[in-house]
């Protein structure tokens, strides 16, 4: 069987409990990297895979590992090394998800910044798979709390990222300590020379896997993307549905379950929609497509498989609600619009960690995908009002209203209430609990404070203690904007946590993050000037050490000692330090400079799992002097 013919997980020799779990999570078909990698890993081969986040690579190694485990043996049989704690957690969660029917299975994420005791306790109890950041894994190995003499498989996930973050010596050290005959799978988005060298040295006759991307020109299709993390995907989609004139729409999601869930949600919001997935019997699928053709339905929520070859002229829009695995899938999806010489619209939702896929799609299709202007609250509300009025006009024109007119008149006389108020009460009744308009007071407030912050010196009303104090602080370097985030020393934040979280959440390359100063209650961080508002909004909501960042720009033009909320106003002597910390793992400082990401200018492709909230500690003396730790990246 060639990998092209692997169209279902059941064609792969995976254990039945895994197939059952895959069916439950709603995966319909293996992604290209899975179709290629799983058979090789099951055969015990070493694999060198060039694949990025979002391609389904986690399942590509997790499923064969799970399939080969001896559950009765409780020592680590597989180790996955990942560059960040977020990725380690996410990979461990994926293992857990696929192993939900493997009785007695244990996976443990280990990463820096977390208490050793809990990890040691779990390791002693026995785990089958360890997923960890290199530094912490190495520490456990040195302490003898992690024994890898029974290790069967070692996975290096996002190897280029580990290189970029300065972990590569640790990775090699770990590689050298593991048994000689373990199987290795190395995944990397790019293949810089150092990664190739490691592969040549440690992998035995590896099979190389690259995801081929086919492209075709799609010039009649206008392509736009929306960075989704700021606004919830469903909210973004409903806004688009309200404001974007469309005829028929195909919304692509990844799983069968997601087709059902999203379709239900849209239906609940009043749209004529239906799911389309591979589990739905063929005749019913055909009926659904027919309904889309003749306008009984306007929206289909589909998986790639179910929409293969779909040809409905009235599909004016394709929304990639979940980003596709690869360019080929993208090209296929958007090709469902712009049929029969018509124009079409393709909209792609992109989370910060998926930006590299956006870049890859642009590169492969040689077309720029523009940032979409999401319709504003005002526009949506204007349209809702217009529709509301139109309904009145239509009803007045087409309905027999005699009886109602009489009743209203009766009511008016009996209760002495003006007709206008009665009409308003009826409108409220008709509208039910769903407000007619999107409330935008909060939004306006947020926007105005953003504008004020960006243009003026004060980022936030200064706390008394800070306003009183004096101090000195240099302005941010050219091209940078200083921002304040509401997490500080008392939340036990480390520069690495800040870099990791900001890079992950806002899709900023960590190289572009400048000086970081950590104070008692908050921190200041220099970010590239002119960050898109969406990125700011995402960062506002992001959390580090359990604290919502509530990021605000601080007026960089303020003269030192004047600006409220600026370090100049804080009674500190800045402690200047050049600290280099393993970004976002909170591990020990690295001894080397962080290397620029080889070859690409792309963002680190890490997963956006937020650190668990820690209990807030209340500072005993709020007026205490604030001593920042300075870091430059
Ligand atoms: P990864 O590249 O491993 O980070 O996976 C990206 C996303 O794709 C995750 O949300 C997975 O749950 C999802 N995914 C992985 N494999 C499949 C599949 N075969 N079908 C549908 N979704 C998948």
Which of 37, 58, 261 gets mutated to test ligand 1 (max ligand atoms within 8 A of its CB)? 58
Yes or no: is domain 465-569 CATH 3.30.70.330? Answer: yes
Q: Which atom of ligand 1 is nearest to the CA of 55?
A: 2
State which of 22, 24, 59 you would mutate to test the pocket of ligand 1, scoring each by most atoms of that ligand within 8 A of its C-beta.
59
362, two tokens: 């642009």
Highest-scoring range by mean pLDDT, 1-5, 82-86, 163-167, 290-294: 290-294
Closest CA to ligand 1's atom 14: 56
What are the residues facing 528 on neighbouring strands? 480
What's residue 506's pLDDT?
A: 75
Q: Which atom of ligand 1 is nearest to the CA of 31?
A: 19
pLDDT in tens, 569-609: 333 333 333 333 333 333 333 333 333 333 323 233 333 33
d(CA 332, CA 321): 15
Ligand 1 centre to CA of 619 (Å) is: 43
Q: Which of 25-34, 202-211, 454-463 has the lowest mean pLDDT?
A: 454-463
- Residue 102 alpha carbon to ligand 1 centre in Å: 20
Q: How far does the centroid of ligand 1 lie from the alpha carbon of residue 54, in Å? A: 6
Within this chain, domains 3-210 and 221-373 share the same CATH topology:
yes
**Using CA atoms, how far apart are residues 241 and 351, in angstroms rounded to an integer?**
20
Judged on CB neighbours under 10 Å (0-12, 13-18, 19+), 441 is: exposed
Taking the C-alpha atoms of residue 518 and residue 506, their distance in angstroms, rounded to an integer, is: 20
Rounded distance from Cα 325 to ligand 1 centre (Å):
8
Going by alpha carbons, the residue nearest to atom 18 of ligand 1 is: 27
pLDDT at 41 over 70: yes
Give which of 483, 506, 493 is closest to 553, Cα–Cα: 483
* Span 323-361, pLDDT tens digits: 998 888 898 899 888 776 678 899 999 988 888 889 888
* Residue-wise pLDDT tens digits, 15-25: 999 999 999 99
Name which of 268-272, 387-391, 416-420, 510-514 the model is least confident about: 510-514
Alpha-carbon distance of 99 to 93, in angstroms, equals 10
Best mutation site among 53, 56, 320, 322 for ligand 1 pocket (most ligand atoms within 8 Å of CB): 56
Residue closest via CA to ligand 1's atom 6 equals 54
Best mutation site among 14, 155, 254 for ligand 1 pocket (most ligand atoms within 8 Å of CB) = 254
Over 80: is that where the pLDDT of 293 sits? Answer: yes
> pLDDT (tens digit, 9 = 90+) per residue, 396-436?
988 889 999 999 999 999 999 999 999 999 999 988 877 88
* Rg, Å, the chain Cα set: 28
Q: What percent of the chain has pLDDT over 90?
A: 42
The better pLDDT of the pair 388, 444 is held by 388
- Give, using CA atoms, the residue closest to atom 12 of ligand 1: 56
CA 603 – ligand 1 centroid, Å: 20
Distance 59 CA to ligand 1 centre (A): 7
pLDDT tens, residue by residue, 362-400: 887 778 899 988 777 788 888 889 889 998 998 998 888
624 alpha carbon – ligand 1 mean position (Å) = 48
Mean pLDDT of 158-168: 87
Give the number of the atom of ligand 1 that is nearest the alpha carbon of residue 28: 20
Report residue 200 as tokens: 């040549």
Give the integer Cα–Cα distance in Å for 321 and 194.
36
The model's confidence at residue 313, banded by pLDDT at 50, 70 and 90, is confident
Q: pLDDT at position 440, please?
A: 57
Are 263 and 385 in contact by the 8 Å Cβ rule? The answer is no
Q: How far away, in angstroms, is 305 Cα from ligand 1 center?
A: 15
Determine which residue's CA is closest to atom 1 belonging to ligand 1.
56
User: What is the structure's pLDDT at 520?
Assistant: 83
Residue located nearest, by CA, to atom 8 of ligand 1: 56
- 3 state SS for 317-369: EEEECCCCCCHHHHHHHHCCCCHHHCCEEEEEEECHHHHHHHHHHHHHHCCCC
Nearest residue by C-alpha to atom 11 in ligand 1: 56
Distance 324 CA to ligand 1 centre (A): 10
What local confidence, expressed as pLDDT, does residue 3 receive? 52
C-alpha 160 to ligand 1 mean position (Å): 20
- What lies within 8 Å, CB to CB, of 318 at 6+ separation is 249, 250, 251, 252, 333, 334, 336, 337, 344, 345, 346, 347
pLDDT of residue 43 exceeding 80:
yes
Ligand 1 lining (C-beta closer than 6 Å) = 27, 30-31, 34, 53-59, 254-255
Task: Identify any residues that bridge with 371 across adjacent strands, giving them in sequence order.
Answer: 225
Alpha carbon distance 524, 123 (integer Å): 38
Please report, for residues 106, 277, 304, 379, the alpha-carbon distance to residue 98 in angstroms, rounded to integers and kept in the order given. Answer: 12, 21, 21, 44
Domain range list for the chain: 3-210, 221-373, 376-459, 465-569, 575-625
Residue 216 scores a pLDDT above 60? no
Positive or negative, the CA dihedral 542, 544, 548, 549 is negative
Cα 172 to averaged position of ligand 1 atoms, centre (Å): 28
Tell me 144's DSSP state.
Answer: T
User: For ligand 1, what atom is nearest to the CA of residue 58?
Assistant: 3
Distance 56 CA to ligand 1 centre (A): 4
Residue located nearest, by CA, to atom 13 of ligand 1: 56
Considering the entire predicted model, what is its pTM?
A: 0.54
Indicate the length of the chain as a whole number.
633
Max CA-CA distance within the chain?
Answer: 94
Write down the mean pLDDT value for the chain.
78
Lowest mean per-residue pLDDT among 145-159, 213-227, 409-423, 441-455: 441-455
Q: According to CATH, what is the number of the domain 221-373?
A: 3.40.50.300
Which of 109-123, 226-240, 290-304 is predicted least confidently? 226-240
Mean pLDDT of 108-120: 89
Q: Is the separation of the CB atoms in 605 and 187 below 8 Å? A: no
Determine the average pLDDT of the residues in 132-142: 94
pLDDT bracket for residue 538 (50, 70, 90)? confident
Ligand 1 atom closest to Cα of residue 255: 21
How far, in Å, CA of 6 to CA of 81, rounded? 28
Each residue of 462-499: pLDDT tens digit? 322 232 222 335 677 778 889 999 988 888 787 777 88
Whether the pLDDT of residue 124 is over 80: the answer is: yes
- Residue among 266, 269, 239 nearest 250 (CA): 266
Give residue 446's pLDDT band: very low, low, confident or very high (50, 70, 90).
Answer: very low
Q: Which residue has the higher pLDDT, 374 or 116?
A: 116
Counting atoms of ligand 1 from 1, which one is nearest the CA of 29?
19
Joined tokens for residue 321:
């609600």
294-310: average pLDDT: 90
What pLDDT band is residue 628 in, cutting at 50, 70 and 90? very low
| Nearest-angstrom CA–CA distance, 326 and 287 | 29
CATH code of the domain made up of 3-210: 3.40.50.300
Measure 94 CA to ligand 1 centroid, in angstroms.
9
Q: What is the CA 310 to chain-centroid distance, rounded? A: 29
**What is the Å distance from ligand 1's center to 365 Cα?**
23
Q: How far is the CA of 419 from the centre of ligand 1 (A)?
A: 57
Give the residue whose CA is nearest to atom 21 of ligand 1: 27
Q: For residue 615, count other CB atoms closer than 10 A to its CB.
A: 5
* pLDDT computed for residue 4 by the predictor: 57
């Amino acid at each position: 069987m060639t990998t092209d013919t692997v169209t279902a997980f059941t064609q792969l020799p995976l254990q039945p409990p895994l197939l059952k779990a895959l069916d439950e999570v709603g995966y319909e078909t293996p992604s290209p990297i899975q179709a290629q990698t799983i058979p090789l890993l099951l055969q015990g081969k070493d694999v060198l895979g060039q694949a990025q986040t979002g391609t389904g690579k986690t399942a590509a190694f997790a499923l064969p590992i799970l399939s080969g485990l001896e559950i009765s043996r409780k020592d680590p049989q597989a180790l996955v090394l990942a560059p960040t704690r977020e990725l380690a957690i996410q990979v461990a969660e994926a293992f857990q998800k696929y192993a939900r029917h493997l009785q007695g299975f244990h996976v443990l994420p280990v990463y820096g910044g977390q208490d050793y005791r809990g990890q040691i306790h779990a390791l002693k109890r026995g785990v089958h798979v360890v997923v960890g950041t290199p530094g912490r894994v190495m520490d456990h190995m040195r302490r003898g709390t992690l024994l890898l003499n029974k290790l069967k498989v070692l996975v290096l996930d996002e190897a280029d990222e580990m290189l970029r973050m300065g972990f590569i010596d640790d990775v090699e050290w770990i590689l050298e300590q593991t048994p000689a005959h373990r199987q290795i799978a190395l995944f990397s988005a790019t293949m810089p020379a150092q990664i190739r060298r490691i592969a040549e040295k440690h992998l035995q006759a590896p099979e190389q896997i690259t995801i081929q991307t086919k492209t075709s020109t799609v010039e009649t299709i206008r392509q736009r993307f929306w960075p989704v993390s700021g606004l919830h995907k469903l909210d973004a989609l409903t806004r688009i549905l309200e404001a974007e004139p469309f005829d028929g729409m195909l919304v692509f999601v990844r799983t069968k379950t997601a087709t059902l869930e999203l379709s239900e949600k849209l239906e609940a919001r009043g749209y004529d929609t239906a799911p389309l997935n591979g589990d739905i019997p063929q005749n019913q699928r055909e009926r659904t497509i027919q309904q889309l053709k003749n306008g009984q339905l306007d929206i289909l929520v589909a998986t790639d498989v179910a929409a293969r070859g779909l040809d409905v002229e009235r599909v004016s829009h394709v929304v990639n609600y979940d980003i596709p695995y690869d360019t080929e899938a993208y090209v296929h999806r958007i090709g469902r619009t712009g049929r029969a010489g018509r124009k079409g619209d393709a909209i792609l939702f992109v989370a910060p960690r998926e930006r590299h896929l956006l870049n890859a799609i642009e590169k492969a299709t040689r077309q720029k995908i523009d940032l979409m202007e999401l319709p504003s609250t005002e526009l949506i509300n204007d349209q809702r009002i217009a529709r509301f009025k139109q309904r009145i006009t239509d009803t007045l024109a087409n309905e027999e209203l005699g009886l109602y007119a009489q009743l209203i008149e009766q009511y008016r006389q009996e209760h002495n209430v003006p007709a206008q108020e009665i009409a308003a009460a009826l409108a409220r009744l008709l509208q039910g609990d769903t407000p007619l308009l999107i409330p935008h007071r909060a939004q306006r407030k947020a926007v105005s404070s953003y504008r004020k912050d960006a243009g003026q010196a004060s980022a936030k009303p200064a706390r008394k203690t800070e306003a009183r104090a004096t101090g000195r602080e240099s302005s941010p370097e050219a091209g940078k904007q200083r921002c304040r985030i509401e997490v500080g020393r008392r939340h036990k934040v480390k520069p690495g946590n800040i870099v990791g979280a900001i890079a992950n959440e806002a899709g900023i390359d960590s190289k572009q993050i400048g000086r970081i100063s950590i104070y008692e209650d908050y921190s200041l961080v220099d970010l590239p000037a002119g960050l898109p508002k969406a990125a700011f909004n995402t960062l506002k909501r992001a959390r580090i050490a359990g604290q919502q960042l509530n990021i605000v720009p601080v007026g960089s033009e303020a003269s030192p000692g004047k600006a409220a909320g600026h370090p100049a106003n804080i009674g500190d002597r800045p402690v200047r330090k050049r600290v280099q910390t393993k970004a976002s793992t909170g591990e020990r400082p690295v001894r080397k400079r962080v290397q620029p990401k080889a070859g690409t200018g792309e963002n680190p492709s890490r997963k956006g799992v937020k650190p668990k909230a820690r209990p807030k500690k209340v500072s005993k003396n709020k007026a205490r002097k604030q001593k920042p730790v300075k870091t430059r990246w």
